[in-house]
Structure formats: structure tokens, C-alpha cells
Amino acid sequence: MFNVFTILFSFLGVISKHPLLLKLMIFTFFFSLVSLTVNTFLSKATDNLTDVSQILTLASYLGFLNALKIVFNFVITGFIAKQILAFIRT
């Protein structure tokens, strides 16, 4: 059991020394977190989408809302990762 913790902490030490791996890990973590949040809000919004208008229903059917969700995920996650890495550098 002690060996597992040693291997895990040594792996985390390697990640913290390499800026590219650190950026990749931070980006991956926050991308999954933001994706979960956006998917939750989008699922709540699309439940009531048919009552709002036919244009939003068509946009949802054509996949515009899914594309918008992906763009929001990348923009928000990129900003969060950039801010965290700037904070770590200072």
C-alpha cells in the first residue's frame, strides 16, 4: 500500500515539474468540470425549449446548441487554465 502512494506522489512530482504536462492536466480537469456544468444547464434548458419558440427548437435539432456548448467549454476552460497557471507563476 505504501508503494502505491509512493508511485502516485512521484508521478504527481513529475507532472508538477513539466509545464506542458501541468497545463494539460489542469485543462483536462477543468474541461470535464465545465462540460458537466454546461451539460446540466443545457439539459434543463432544452426541457422547456419547445415552449419558447420554433427557432430554438430548430437550432437544437440542427445541432447548433451542441456546437455552442463545445465552444463555451473550450473558451471557459482555456480562461480558467490560463488564470491558474498565471497565478502559479507569480
The pLDDT tens digits of the residues spanning 36-77 come to 887 887 777 766 666 666 776 776 677 777 777 778 888 888
The pTM (predicted TM-score) of the whole model is 0.56
The domain segmentation of the chain, as residue ranges, is 19-89
Give alpha helix (H) positions in the chain: 2-17, 19-47, 49-52, 54-62, 64-89
Residue 9 in this model has a pLDDT that exceeds 80:
no
